């Protein structure tokens, strides 16, 4: 797709009802013009560390689907290499990879339009990671906030947590990706990828485009934990009540919403700074219903937060039920899931091999004239 078609796609996406809640930054559209010499490719990834929750859905997967349906050239990677930066139980990891694939398909990621693949099936991710690691510095990696956050609670810090952002840069650069939709927490990792592009291109000549981050609206980029609204909703939070998973039953959802931490004010009002707990519930309600937070507060003026939680629970249960049913159906088709992953890996390897051969030649591993 050429640059002007891609820009059209972005505007088209912005018009779609659901994307109205994730306005793309104005500057993004002008950034698209600056990548003229490289064909546009949108790369995204998700770790199979558990079931997709509403934060992953609204902050990432729904936006990927919109870009895909708008005609962008999209790739979606199930980042299993990343997932083992923290210990995973092997059988559970296998199950998570299948479930993640089924959930992405159920959410509308279409393997005919998006290259959907498992990261570890493309060996060039790890190979390029090594080359890029040799062009990174310890000081630069130690500075990244996710490393500091994740390592703060650990006695022994695995090297994987440290190198993770370099692998992420390799994921993106391997496909010469031009755009990467990310949550706010990932923006600094994208900056590392951009810096690596600069270093590599300066040293060896133009090899990679500089990838641009597509960051959604602030609230969507960071849905909060139901148990601690200061933290983001996370797959690997030890307390499953902190998140609503797309596979949760209506009873689970009701229980989690009832237990959601709010504050001592009983009115339903929206202020993410002074009232993060109830505002998080209103944001979820707003994203699922299409109503604005103001409309929701007006409609709920007769309710206290306890009763409002039951209303939100019902809206969530009703909206995610169709996805949940689809996931269960797709999960029963093992052969289909294998075929999707195999065909995705074949397509990904074809692109990856080309980039890797170019990199090998440029750094001096091969003798190609
Ligand atoms: N709470 C969130 N709100 C909005 N977006 C979110 N994302 C994650 N949490 C929220 C976005 O989901 C995409 C995939 O994330 P990931 O699997 O690569 O890892 P993550 O960002 O670390 O997500 P989790 O759920 O917190 O996983 P774990 O617990 O394994 O670390 C990303 O685009 C992310 O921004």
Quote the ligand 1 centre to 36 CA distance (angstroms): 30
DSSP state of 237: -
Ligand 1, residues 164, 187, 190, 234: which to mutate, most atoms within 8 A of Cβ?
Answer: 234
* Pocket lining: 60 vs ligand 1, CB cutoff 6 Å: yes
pTM assigned to the model: 0.88
**pLDDT tens-place values along the chain, 369 residues long:** 444 444 444 433 433 333 333 333 333 333 334 455 899 999 999 999 999 999 999 989 999 999 999 999 999 999 999 999 989 999 999 999 999 999 999 999 999 999 999 999 999 999 999 999 999 999 899 888 878 887 888 888 899 999 999 999 999 999 999 999 987 778 889 999 999 999 999 999 999 999 999 987 765 668 999 999 999 999 989 999 999 999 999 999 999 999 999 999 999 999 999 999 999 999 999 999 999 999 999 999 999 999 999 999 999 999 999 999 999 999 999 999 999 999 999 999 999 999 999 999 999 998 765
Q: Is the CB of 186 under 6 A from ligand 1?
A: yes
109 Cβ inside 6 Å of ligand 1: no
Residue 150: active-site member: yes
Q: Distance (Å, rounded) from C-alpha 217 to C-alpha 183?
A: 9
Distance CA 200, CA 131 (A): 10
Write out the E strands in 205-326.
212-215
Respond yes or no: is residue 360 known to be catalytic: no
Distance 369 CA to ligand 1 centre (A): 43
**Of the residues 212, 232, 256, 309, which is catalytic?**
232
Q: How many CB atoms lie within 10 A of CB 91?
A: 8
Distance from C-alpha of 198 to C-alpha of 205, rounded to nearest angstrom? 10
Instruction: Give the Cβ contact number of residue 88 at 10 Å.
Output: 18
242, with CB counted inside 10 A (0-12, 13-18, 19+), is buried
- Å from CA of 182 to ligand 1 middle: 9
Domains, the chain, ordered by start = 3-222+333-363 (3.40.50.620), 240-330 (1.10.240.10)
């Amino acid at each position: 797709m050429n640059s002007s078609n891609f820009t059209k796609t972005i505007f088209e996406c912005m018009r779609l009802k659901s994307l109205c809640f994730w306005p793309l930054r104005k500057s993004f559209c002008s950034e698209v013009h600056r990548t003229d010499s490289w064909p546009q490719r949108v790369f995204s990834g998700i770790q199979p560390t558990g079931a997709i929750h509403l934060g992953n859905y609204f902050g990432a997967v729904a936006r990927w689907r919109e870009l895909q349906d708008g005609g962008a050239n999209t790739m979606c990677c199930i980042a299993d290499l990343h997932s083992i930066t923290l210990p995973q139980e092997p059988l559970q990891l296998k199950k998570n990879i299948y479930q993640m694939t089924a959930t992405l398909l159920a959410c509308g990621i279409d393997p005919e339009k998006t290259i959907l693949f498992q990261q570890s099936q493309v060996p060039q991710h790890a190979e390029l990671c090594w080359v890029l690691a040799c062009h990174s510095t310890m000081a630069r990696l130690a500075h990244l906030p996710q490393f500091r956050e994740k390592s703060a609670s650990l006695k022994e810090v695995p090297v994987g947590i440290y190198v993770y952002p370099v692998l992420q840069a390799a994921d993106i650069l391997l496909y010469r990706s031009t755009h990467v939709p990310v949550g706010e927490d990932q923006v600094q990792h994208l900056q590392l990828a951009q810096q690596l592009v600069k270093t590599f291109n300066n040293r060896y000549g133009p090899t990679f485009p500089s990838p641009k981050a597509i960051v959604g609206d602030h609230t969507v980029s960071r849905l909060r934990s139901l148990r601690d609204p200061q933290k983001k909703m996370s797959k690997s939070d030890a307390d499953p009540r902190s998140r609503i998973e797309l596979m949760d039953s209506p009873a689970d959802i009701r229980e989690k919403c009832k237990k959601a931490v709010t504050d001592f004010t009983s009115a339903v009002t929206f202020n993410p700074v002074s009232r993060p707990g109830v505002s998080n519930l209103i944001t979820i309600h707003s994203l699922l219903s299409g109503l604005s937070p103001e409309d929701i507060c007006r409609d709920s003026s007769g309710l206290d937060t306890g009763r409002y939680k039951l209303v939100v629970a019902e809206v969530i249960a009703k909206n995610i039920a169709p996805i949940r049913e689809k996931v269960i159906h797709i999960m029963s088709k093992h052969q289909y899931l294998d075929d999707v992953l195999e065909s995705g890996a074949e397509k990904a390897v074809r692109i990856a091999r080309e980039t890797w051969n170019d990199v090998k030649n440029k750094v001096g591993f091969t003798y190609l004239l």
